[in-house]
Structure formats: structure tokens, C-alpha cells
Structure 1
């Protein structure tokens, strides 16, 4: 048990008088502090499923490395960092720029805690490159999340941090009604849920978290439990009771804006986000009719409102989206058991002109939905990252023929269906297959691409580990390749001459990731440095056989180079890295922090 994080009771300020904390109204409540008991879901990971290194599950329990600072496999590490991922040609561009997240949240992790509490403290133990947490959410009912804290990403010194922000107070239990455990007295123990959102785009390298602690008050009696579960203490003082809102309705005769041509009004409304459109709809009849026009909903992004989007909301958009072309529902629909069926009806009604569809990290995506997606014949971009459809559903996607971008990372897609999709979409330009652990014939997949997808510019199969040197040779036939991510593909095998062949036939490569290709040496890398003069990113993490000589050669020869990752390259000294950083200030030279900073007074 940690030292008590619950702050002592103090007199209320003027701004707090409208809210009376439950700990003041009820004196005999227990204070309770607990570490995460399980990881419920997440959007980013660095580990493969059978490895615990850098895994989300490392967030379970008390911290093991804090207050040490460094790159520890025993912590949870997010995959991306900095601006590098956003600069990829395959990175998803905003479908609806006016709906971009002002805090830029890129990933999240949802944690379960054993006991339901009235939340008062959340403490996050950051052990590597802190400052990425931008929001903390608490789940107060099956479909109701409340924002406990938010703030911009921070630049923090290179030291561990116990991030303990002041959270918003609510007089109800933070919980999830969907996960029960029973004690010997058959009393349900309801898991509390906390969700952390991250923006790591400002960080120099990967961020890592060791543990999360939740502190709060727990009712002693059944009556207290029921009162808090039903949020019956959400009181306001009498002089702060909600006042009747004044109507803002504008008389049509005085509203000169309404006399503009309908097309002009629509052109102006196209620059508004959804909240602003909802407000405009309440002004008068003319404005309301304008906000219903399908032309305003040709591009729709609801990711930012994941905590509010349910089947009822989606059904509301159905009639307005009859001409929709781009739809982003990433992160949405996880808390609504009717969302899958509602989305099926939405697709049936709106898929005729759909060209871009992003359903990343959507738990509602099932086999039936994947089958329905295959009927959206105009699709050019499809993103199903980390969705849970069974592997045999993907064979239906071979009915599509116009895809140029396909993201199936972290899905259960298998070899046969994937090869059928590739053969049917010969204009495919960007293909992402990271963490696709059901692919066992990656060599044949690469050969299929070489035969049928000659326009391919981006290939990413990070930690999809069934590639062999003979399969790697097929990349040399993809002359249009610009980005090649084969990180952790050759863990033990010798890569042969595939790098030399790729470098000779793909001279316009801009990004090359071959982290943990343990058989690579200076001689194998020399053709890459010599031929691929457009390289901006070169990731050599964990290649222990390379020396400072080839790195120096790369820094001198590659005039466009912006990022060189030589973390865990044991033959390269720290002194060499310091000298290169001075001599080549325009290149970010990554060197993972492999030392410990012990500060037990932190």
C-alpha cells in the first residue's frame, strides 16, 4: 500500500461551493488506493503476443522500475514517437480537418482496477521520456465516461516522473458494469476503469510507463453503494441551480445571413465542426435545413467523440450521410452492444459512394461487417487496424478492386485471403501488416506483391516474423518502393544478399527499418548507403555487428538523412554518438538510454 494520496479536507473555495465532495457529506467512508489489476484494451504496443517485453500487461500491479529512468523491457512502451510516423506516405490524413483533436491524442490504454471507488487521485509512474499523457478518463457507467483531467503534452527532463495531476471531482463510483467478479458472499465486485490518452508526437524517443495508481473513497454500507452508483449526490447549491436559458432563436426577418443563397450558406458551414453545426441547427428553420444538407457530411470523423457515439447517434447521421465519401469511426462503438447492427444498416444506406473508411481499434467490427464492407466497391482506402473479425471473413475483401491503401495491422488475416486481396487490387500503393501473427507464409505474400502490385510504395510488416532471405529478395522487384519496414523480421536468420538486391533495384527508398536484423554487418549495409541516396530514415536498432565506420559513411553520404537509430548497437560507443551529434546537427541520432538513474528521493 502506497502512502495515502488522498488530500486532507480543506475549506471550499468560492468556485467549489457549488460542488460538495462526498467525503465531506459522508464521514465514514474508506480511503482506498490500488494499482491496475488488468489491461482491458490498448491501441499501441511494441511486443508480440508471446513476449512480455514492453507489453501493456506490464502496467498490471505495482511499479517495478520506478524511480529508475531508462529503457526497461519490464515497462509498457508505445510503438510510435515524434513526427516520424506522421511523415510516412501511408499515415492517415485527416478526413475532416476541422474535427482534429486539439490535444492530438494518438493512442490510449484502458486499465481495470479491482474495486469501484469515488475517484480523487490518479498517479502515473513514467520511467522513460515522460510527458505524453494528455487525458485521463473514468468510466462511471456502462456507456458513460467522464473526463477526469486533460492537458497539453509536455516536454520533461530525462528523468522518471510520478505524474499526479489534480483531477476533476465527481460524487459517483468509477466503474464498469460489464465485468463482475463475485466474493464468497455473492456481492459483485465491479472493476473500475481508467483510460489514458497519449500524444507522443513531441517526444524524442519512445515513452514508457511502469504502473498506474488509482486513489479514492469506497462506501462502507450498501445504501452508500447504491447512492453513489446511481449518481444521486450530483447536487448544486440552491443559488447555483441552473437558470432557464434565454432563447437565441433569430427571427428570420432580421437574419440577413438566411437571405444568402443556399449554396453560399453551405460553403460557409463546410468549415464548421460538428458541435458548431449542432448549435447552428438551433438558430432558426433556415439554418436547421442547411445543417441537414448531405453535402456537409461527405467527410465525417467521429473519433474525437468516441465517448459519446452510440447506435442512436450513428442512426441520426444515416439520413444525412447518403453521399458520404470518407468515414472515420476509429475508437468508437466499444460500449454499445447494438452498434454493430446499427453500423450494418448505416453501411447499407450510405456505402454507395464511400471511398475512405477507417475503423481502427473498433471492437464492434465482426465478420458480418467485414463482409458488408466488401460491398463498398468504390473504396480506395480501408483501415481495419486492431479489429477482431475472424480470419475467414477477410476473404470477402477480395471483391474490392480499387484499393490503394490497406491497413490490416494487428488483425487475424491469413495468407490465402490476403493474397486474394492483393491480386484483386493491382493499384495498391500502401500496405501495412504489422503484428499480423497469423501470416505464416510472408515470402509468398511478398512474391504476390511483386507480381501483382507493381505500384507499391509502402510496405510495413513490423514484427510479422515469417520472412526468410528468399522472400526478402522479392522486394527487389518492387522498384517503386519508398518505405520499407521489416523491423524484427529476421531475428536469427542470415539475410543473405537481399539488402544488396533491394538497394540496387529500389534506389528511391526514403525510409528503411531493419531493426534486429542480427546477421547484418557493415558489408551488407554498404550497398544501401551507396545506392539509396534519398534515405531520410534508417533504423538499425539492435544490429550488434555493425560498426561506427558504416554509420559515419551513412552520415557523410546520405544528404537527406534525418533519423538514424542505432540503439543497442553494442559495437558503437557513446563517445562516437556524441561526436556525430555535434558534427551532424541536422540528423537525429537515436541512442536508447541503457543506464539507470536511481533517485529514491523523487
Structure 2
């Protein structure tokens, strides 16, 4: 195996000699407990186009690259992985590094749309050297299945190595919108003969046709454009391309597709280009297409998502910051260190921007401070698992000074192992705060109860996540459970210092409380009866209790 990449973490998540007995890691916490509440959060991304939503909910993927060609002779899932649809898709490809931006992916496995476990394997006689495995992150055994799969791949020999390197065919692969320009012959449903009768939709008024077409996904819309001249004219209307989500078409988009699409995105409002990577796109052509789209939609673009997009250059960033009507901007899993300074890029204030998501980004503290100064009305700041940010004090001070309307602060795994109790006390100055995520950010010492200031001033706080605060005590939590009356969700997973008396007091004092997460509580075996008693007294509160689990023994 040559390479094992995980888009959630930059380092490999698995190594055979160190295969753990318990699946306990920072990524495990982030991908299990915290992300079981994604849709109700203020920070969650809402679908841009409901017709193009992935029905299986693939959010993260892992790529496995091999030294040479392999044959998938006996591909299967281990019987112990009976968590329904954790792995939702598996793709295979053969990459010729002389033509690395013309890659064709073959779907090997796709999970069932139902909740039942399925084994929908497709025949694959191809010679491959790369796999792409997509996961539904909301299932609790996400990381265990990922680790187990790679362990099984390496130990059970489900792949047969070939000694020779087989080049790709000279046939250039083009997919996406261009593929849909082939002529479609309409045939009678019963006889199969070509149908030349009258078009039953020709008398429908244009308003009805527009409403019908507005319910179609992008592929269906492209196919309808080839039926007749009237349908073609209707399908070209730019109103159908105001909200565009291209994420599920990641394997179909190439330079030709972008060339056609950019003509239709002149008035786009919401644009999601997640998972656009180097395997499909040439850097220069992608750069030119994106620049053209951003320039044309400069006055209309309100939502932009470029998660896991490889080709994000400084000129593209400059053009993004010229889109002053942006309300939501997401840059997940990007390295911004190649940019000298972020804040001189634009001298204009982005007064309409409400959400900034830089999860998993590598970004310097000065860069983040610079962009925060340009967003006076920022409400949601998400920077989970960011690197190179250093001391949180300048960032928190900047937010207090320039972003006083902030409602969401999420920095899980970003600021840790610091004596930050005095620094976190400053969160009390953000009086509009509704969601606070300080997972893996526990201060080294609790000389000052930083939660007391938060409880005293943040009266609108609805969600508080303090997972992996191992020294959290009842005394520290008492101000929270007695003063934050709007709290609906609490996350105390991987804590051991508090007692169940404080949980009972929280259920009694907080009228809006709906969920408490106490997964992986270190003393969970001795408190099952206490949890049962609390559940009986307060049935409106749901307790999420996931015990530490062992990795299934591999036969």
C-alpha cells in the first residue's frame, strides 16, 4: 500500500502494528458523539438544492492508493460490521499519472437506501490502483469501521497484486453535462416503436412548465433540454441555476462540464463545489472557470461552499472577497499558509457574511484575525481541528471587539493543553452566544471557573459541548445548570469528575433541556441504575450513553 489518506485527518488513521484494542482518539470523539447532532445546530449547512441531495448522506471519504495494479477478486465486508450503511459507497479507479486529471471512477458498492444492512456489490473486473470509500459520518461506529476495513484489506488478502503496470486506455473520458448531449429517441411505452404523435405538454402554459422543471435535478434538467425545442428553451432559463449543489456530481464534473455550466451560473446565489479535486480537473482550466463564475455572480452570490477543493488559489480568494453579498462561506480542509496575509486581500467590509467555516484548515493566527476584522456581523464561527492557530487569546479578543453579534463558537480540538481558564472566561462578553463547543479544549488547571462568567452573561446559550474535559466537576457546572435556562443540549462525553447529582439538577432546573450526552463516561458500569432513575423522572430528556466498545475480533 502506497498511501492512505483521510480527508478528516491529515495523518493516517490506521497502522497494522498499532491497531488499538479500544477505539479512542480525537477523531473518534469528533466523528461520533459531536456529529450525532448535525442538523439541529445553528452552524449546520442547509442543502442548497434539495433535488441534488445525496440520499445516502456521504460526508467524508478515505482514499487508498496502491503501489501497483490490483485486482478486486474477493471484495467483501467483514460480517461483524452490521452497523447499517456506515460505508455508503466504494469507488475504484486506475490512475495513469501521465493523465492524472482524466480519471474514471467505477462504483463498486452502494449501500441500500433503507436502514437495513445490505451487500449491494457490483461486478468489477477492472484492474485498479486506488479506492475511494465514502462514509456516513453520523453513525457511531464510523471510525471503527474505517479502521477495520483497512485492517481486513491488509491481512485477509482481498486484493491480488499484479507485478506489471497497466497503462490507461488512450480513450479520453468525458462525463457530466457533455455526456447528456446525445440524442434521445422517444419510443412508445408498449410497442417500442418511435412515437411521432402530438406532444401532450405543448398546450401547457409556460408557468406550469417552469414549475415542473424547477423540481428536477441537474441531470434530469439536462436530459429534458434534448426532447424538443420548447423544452430546450425552458431548461436554459437561468432561474433553474440559482441554487446549485454539485457535490454529488464530483465524479462527473470535468473541464468540459464546467465550461457549459459557467454560462448558466451567471446569476447563481448558492453554489456548492465540494470534492472538486485534482483527479478530474486541470488546475489552469479549473482556475479560469471558477474566476469566470465568481466575476459574473459577484453581485448575486450569497452562499459558497468549497470544501475539500484542491485548486483554491490566492486570485480566487481575492475574487471571493469581492462578493460583498456573501452570507455563508465554507473552506473545509484547506491549507492557507501559501497566502502571505489574508486581511489585505480586500479593504471592503463583508457586512452580510454571517457564517464562516474553516474546519480542518491550516491557517495562521494573523490570517484569521485579519478576516474576522472584515466581518462585523459574523454570527457563526466554526474552526474545529484547525492547525497553526496557536494561542486562542488574540482570536477571542478580536471576536469580542469586532464580532460582538457572534452566536456560534466551535473550536473542537483546536486549542488544547493550555492554561486557558482565564482566556475562556472572556466568552462571557459574547452575550449573544447560543452554541459553544470547547471539546478537547480543557484548561490545564481550573484555577478560575471560566464557566461561571459564561453562565452569568450568556443567557441565550442553548448548546454547550465540553467533551473530554476530564477534570470537570459539579462545582464548575453548577452555575451553568442554574442560570442558563435556555439550554437544550449538553455534551459531557469522556468526563469522569462530575456526579449524577448535577445531571439530575440540570434536568430539574432547565425547562428546555432535551438531550445530555454522557458517552464513554469512565464509571458507566456503576451508574446504569442512576441513569434509569433520572430517565424515569424526566422522560423529556434523552440521555445518549455510548459505552467504550472493543474492536470486533477479525477472523
- Scaled by the length of structure 1, what TM-score is found? 0.77
Q: How does 1:104-503 map to 2 (within 5 A)?
A: 104-124=57-77, 130-131=83-84, 132-141=86-95, 142=100, 143-152=103-112, 165=119, 167-174=121-128, 192-201=129-138, 203=140, 208-211=145-148, 212=150, 213=153, 215-219=158-162, 225=166, 229-230=168-169, 246-247=185-186, 254-335=198-279, 336-338=281-283, 339-390=286-337, 391-392=339-340, 394-395=342-343, 396=345, 399=348, 400-465=350-415, 468-494=420-446, 496-503=448-455
Contact 1:125 / 1:209 at 8 angstroms: preserved in 2? no
Distance 1:388 1:253 in 2: 58
CA shift, 1:337, in A, is 2.5
CA shift, 1:553, in A, is 1.6
Distance 1:586 1:84 in 2: 17
TM-superposition CA deviations, 1:74-129 (whole Å, max 9, x none): 99676246651111011000111111111121221112233322323334569888
Contact 2:26 / 2:413 at 8 angstroms: preserved in 1? no
TM-superposition CA deviations, 1:238-287 (whole Å, max 9, x none): xxxxxx97446999993352444444422321111011101111101111
Distance 1:204 1:144 in 2: 30
Q: How many residues align?
A: 515
Distance 1:205 1:482 in 2: 28
CA shift, 1:361, in A, is 1.2
Aligned to 1:565: 517
Distance 1:577 1:128 in 2: 28
Distance 2:406 2:12 in 1: 35
Relative to 1, partners in 2 of residues 1:92 and 1:393: Cα closer, same or farther, differing over 3 Å?
farther
Distance 1:100 1:508 in 2: 32
CA shift, 1:318, in A, is 1.0
TM-superposition CA deviations, 1:494-546 (whole Å, max 9, x none): 26132011111112211101123344311110010001122221112333321
TM-superposition CA deviations, 1:395-451 (whole Å, max 9, x none): 226643321111111112322232232222211111111112221232121122222
CA shift, 1:60, in A, is 4.1
Give ranges in structure 2 of 5+ residues lacking alignment. 172-182, 189-193
CA shift, 1:381, in A, is 0.7
The answer as to 2:19 corresponding to 1:64 is yes
Aligned to 2:54: 101
Distance 2:389 2:163 in 1: 52
Tell me, what secondary structure is at the counterpart of 2:399?
A: helix
CA shift, 1:37, in A, is 4.7
Distance 2:402 2:13 in 1: 42
Contact 2:267 / 2:300 at 8 angstroms: preserved in 1? yes
Distance 1:411 1:429 in 2: 19
Relative to 1, partners in 2 of residues 1:280 and 1:148: Cα closer, same or farther, differing over 3 Å?
same
Relative to 1, partners in 2 of residues 1:398 and 1:172: Cα closer, same or farther, differing over 3 Å?
farther
- Scaled by the length of structure 2, what TM-score is found? 0.83
CA shift, 1:293, in A, is 1.3
TM-superposition CA deviations, 1:43-63 (whole Å, max 9, x none): x35xxx7xxxxxx62334479
Distance 1:471 1:129 in 2: 44
Distance 2:434 2:422 in 1: 21
Q: How does 1:526-545 map to 2 (within 5 A)?
A: 526-545=478-497
Tell me, what secondary structure is at the counterpart of 1:257?
A: coil
Contact 1:512 / 1:537 at 8 angstroms: preserved in 2? yes
Relative to 1, partners in 2 of residues 1:245 and 1:333: Cα closer, same or farther, differing over 3 Å?
same
Tell me, what secondary structure is at the counterpart of 1:392?
A: coil
Give ranges in structure 1 of 5+ residues lacking alignment. 1-35, 50-55, 157-162, 175-191, 233-243
Contact 1:252 / 1:258 at 8 angstroms: preserved in 2? no
CA shift, 1:165, in A, is 4.1
Aligned to 2:474: 522
